[in-house]
Amino acid sequence: MWWLFYCVLTRYTQLNLIKKTRSMQKTYPIGIRQEKYLTTNLDVIVVDNQHCYAVIALQGAQVLSFIPKKTMPPTDRLWLSRGNQYTINKAIRGGIPLCFPWFGPHSNPNYPSHGFARNKIWQCEDIRLEHDQSHILKFKLGHDEETHAVWPYKFVLELTIHCADTLQLDFKLTNLDTAKFDFTFAWHSYFNVDLSSTEIYGLQGLSYIDQLTNTTNLQSEQFLMIEREVDRIYPQTHGEYVIQSKAVEPIKITTNTESVVVWNPWIEKSKKLSDVIDEDWKNFVCVENGQVATAVQTLDVNQTASYQLNIA
Ligand code: TA6
């Protein structure tokens, strides 16, 4: 009799444990799965719908890959370095890193270049399957002791990513503090190109700060070609760009952000980048849309700042 009772109790416990485990496992809409990226320990969400294939790391809510299925052959619009080690607190080179709450190096050399947002693990708050079978994923990053130590403000930052024929990113920052704060940000996008044939349109007639010579110049040419190390900030732009390069279909960028940075490390600088292998610098150009103009952005208490980026 006691043996029967033991068997029933064991089976009940097992079923209860299975039910609890299943309730803990997230259920995602069709076309979505969470997994480890390749052989790394990096948690990513893979989107595979009729429009595109995309990979988004929970670290930084960083898009690592975006392949529109209408491109023939389907080609990744983004470049991701083969040299990434995917270690904790190390920025991932490639895809679309989000630079926030500052762009570039901090005056304190101990603070992370381009801010902390791309190094932090974000929460995936919601994933929706739209009527057109595209997916909208919502990620959130809030303040914690680590962020407060380098940027003493309360905030919530939401990044909404719409994976369709185009890739739409929506940045929404809310000031939860009792004081206003300044910030700069940029999507530090790495585009998959043949650099030697790349032409970047949308910059003609604009002034730019050459970060290499710290001079301000005017771009008179219709398009920018990359024939040496380039590191330029265009503070005020029209928000529409086209990147043309052989072997890939033109990449069309539209955004309501004001500034854009164009960067490629070229030969010597890339030798100093441990996560850029061999001559891989020939395979990408960074066109970084954001608010990195000389004047920082000020956000008042309880106010929200919203910016969009669309990549086709
Ligand atoms: O793209 C502009 C820039 O600030 C460059 O000066 C270079 O430092 C690049 O960002 C890469 O920065 P990262 O911290 O990602 O190596």
Tens digit of each residue's pLDDT (9 = 90 or more) over 223-275: 999 999 999 999 999 999 999 999 789 999 999 999 999 999 999 999 999 99
Whole-number Å distance between alpha carbons of 164 and 256? 19
State the average pLDDT over residues 197-202: 98
State the average pLDDT over residues 159-163: 98
Q: Is the CB of 231 under 6 A from ligand 1?
A: yes
State the average pLDDT over residues 125-138: 98
8 Å CB contact between 142 and 126 = no
State the average pLDDT over residues 77-89: 95
Q: With pLDDT > 70 as the criterion, what percentage of the chain qualifies?
A: 95
Beta bridge partners of 68: 52
8 Å CB contact between 275 and 297 = no
More confident site: 1 or 62 = 62
Task: Reply yes or no on whether the pLDDT at 3 is more than 80.
Answer: no
8 Å CB contact between 215 and 245 = no
Q: Is the CB of 103 under 6 A from ligand 1?
A: no
> Which pLDDT value is given to residue 25?
64
Q: Is the CB of 261 under 6 A from ligand 1?
A: yes
> Which pLDDT value is given to residue 88?
84
pLDDT bin (cut points 50, 70, 90) of residue 1 is confident
Q: Is the CB of 229 under 6 A from ligand 1?
A: no
Q: Is the CB of 239 under 6 A from ligand 1?
A: no
pLDDT single digits (tens) 19-73: 655 555 678 999 999 999 999 999 999 999 999 999 999 999 999 999 999 988 8
CA distances from 154 to 20, 147, 179, 200 (A): 35, 9, 9, 38
> Which pLDDT value is given to residue 152?
98
pLDDT bin (cut points 50, 70, 90) of residue 194 is very high
State the average pLDDT over residues 166-186: 98
Ligand 1 geometric centre to CA of 67 (Å): 24
Q: Is the CB of 265 under 6 A from ligand 1?
A: no
Residue 57 buriedness (CB in 10 A; 0-12 / 13-18 / 19+): buried
For the chain, how long is the longest CA-to-CA vector? 92
- Kindly report the average pLDDT of the chain as a whole number: 94
Identify the sign of the CA torsion 218, 221, 223, 225.
Answer: negative
8 Å CB contact between 167 and 146 = no
> Which pLDDT value is given to residue 168?
98
More confident site: 55 or 7 = 55
Closest-lying ligand 1 atom to the alpha carbon of residue 91: 15
> Which pLDDT value is given to residue 19?
62
Identify the sign of the CA torsion 266, 55, 247, 205.
Answer: negative
Task: Reply yes or no on whether the pLDDT at 102 is more than 90.
Answer: yes
- The tokens of 34 are what? 């969470």
> Which pLDDT value is given to residue 4?
77
- Protein residue with its CA nearest to atom 2 in ligand 1: 263
Distance between the two ends of the chain, CA-based, in angstroms? 70
Closest-lying ligand 1 atom to the alpha carbon of residue 269: 7
> Which pLDDT value is given to residue 251?
97
Whole-number Å distance between alpha carbons of 206 and 199? 16
pLDDT bin (cut points 50, 70, 90) of residue 11 is confident
Task: Reply yes or no on whether the pLDDT at 169 is more than 70.
Answer: yes
Q: Is the CB of 285 under 6 A from ligand 1?
A: no
Closest-lying ligand 1 atom to the alpha carbon of residue 286: 1
State the average pLDDT over residues 130-144: 98
Task: Reply yes or no on whether the pLDDT at 106 is more than 80.
Answer: yes
φ/ψ bin of 60: left (φ > 0), alpha (ψ from -120 to 50), beta (otherwise): left
> Which pLDDT value is given to residue 21?
54
**Phi and psi torsions of 22, nearest 5°:** -65, -40
> Which pLDDT value is given to residue 23?
52
